[in-house]
Amino acid sequence: MENDFPIKQMVDVNGNLVMEEYQSQITKELADAFYKNMLRIRTFDKKAISLQRQGRIGTYAPYEGQEAAQVGSALALEQDDWLFPSYRDHGATMTFGHSIRNILLFWNGRNEGCIPEKGKKVFPPGIPIATQLPHAVGAAYAEKRKGTKNASIVYFGDGATSEGDFHEGLNFASVLNAPVVFFNQNNFFAISVPMSKQMKTSTIAQKSLAYDIPGYRIDGNDIFAVYFYTMQALERARNGEGPTLIEAVTWRYGAHTTADDPTKYRNQSESEARKKETDPILRLERLMKNNGWYDETKKEAWLLEASEEIDAAIAEMEKFPKANPADMFDYVFEKPTWGIEQQKQDLLHVLRGEN
């Protein structure tokens, strides 16, 4: 089955174009936009890990190594589209226009972190695995019923494909012909469980066959493949042709979260090798150098700009008071049940140091 879903690639690891038909569309302007955004979100990721280690934010989910998958797919969206992230897709939400301050507030436990910029349709990050997939289908179907050309994209990892919500989401989308793109980032590990232990199929893309929808397997570290195949899937959605499943094959260098130790279950030497060979930012740099587009001065300016932007957002985030853990009970139901209210009062007693 793997042969039926080959990995589609436009630019190889050495920065060479391997799909000549796209040559006219791979421009310096597009490469610059990709490069600037990938540098920006990698800078954020490194600073966020540092903040967590300093105790300035809570547990954090890093994504270094997955920048091409997140930036390329997010830049394919249009202004009025919907974005449904998992807890690891803040690189995509940043690229789509979500507030960096609010992303940081989310990782500090404040409700403001779930609020997107005005006019942006960004759903709160899905913490329970795969629950955001049916939500994305519902939003897409609502847009279809309203007669718009707006589409949804929903992000999830390989572990999410073992959840019922994945299958329910794809089934509903298929039956309703909903304008939604299911964007899987296959990192080969669901926390500590390798792909071989959670599914028998050799690819995730082939799961599309069960729902009679198109499925593509792309090189998730090739930002041009990510961008153009996501764009193609979104165009299908806008034209009333229904959903698409995309499997972006990638690799995350670091831990599942800052509370995790990947050395317990994964050979980290492979991550070190991939940083030198298949890193998405290095691949784009190689293409830019091959075409005479690379500018070291511009790179340094973009890195400085990103660093200053993120530092300003950190300063804003730290002006907020610490989150009140009891707030978690307030929005479970419109009117709290006695059980929820009792749990809240019990927690308040603990926070106040009462017996």
Q: Is the dihedral of CA 181, 185, 191, 193 positive or negative?
A: positive
Q: Is 200 exposed, middle or buried (0-12, 13-18, 19+ CB in 10 A)?
A: exposed
Note the residue count of the chain: 355
**Could you tell me the maximum CA-CA distance found in the chain, to the nearest angstrom?**
71
Give me the active site residues, please: 252, 256, 265
Give the C-alpha separation, 244 to 136, whole Å: 13
Give the C-alpha separation, 215 to 287, whole Å: 27
φ and ψ of 51, to 5 deg: -60, -40
Measuring CA to CA, which residue among 276, 323, 335, 252 is closest to residue 108?
323
The answer to whether residues 198 and 166 touch, using CB atoms and an 8 Å cutoff, is no
Give the C-alpha separation, 303 to 285, whole Å: 14
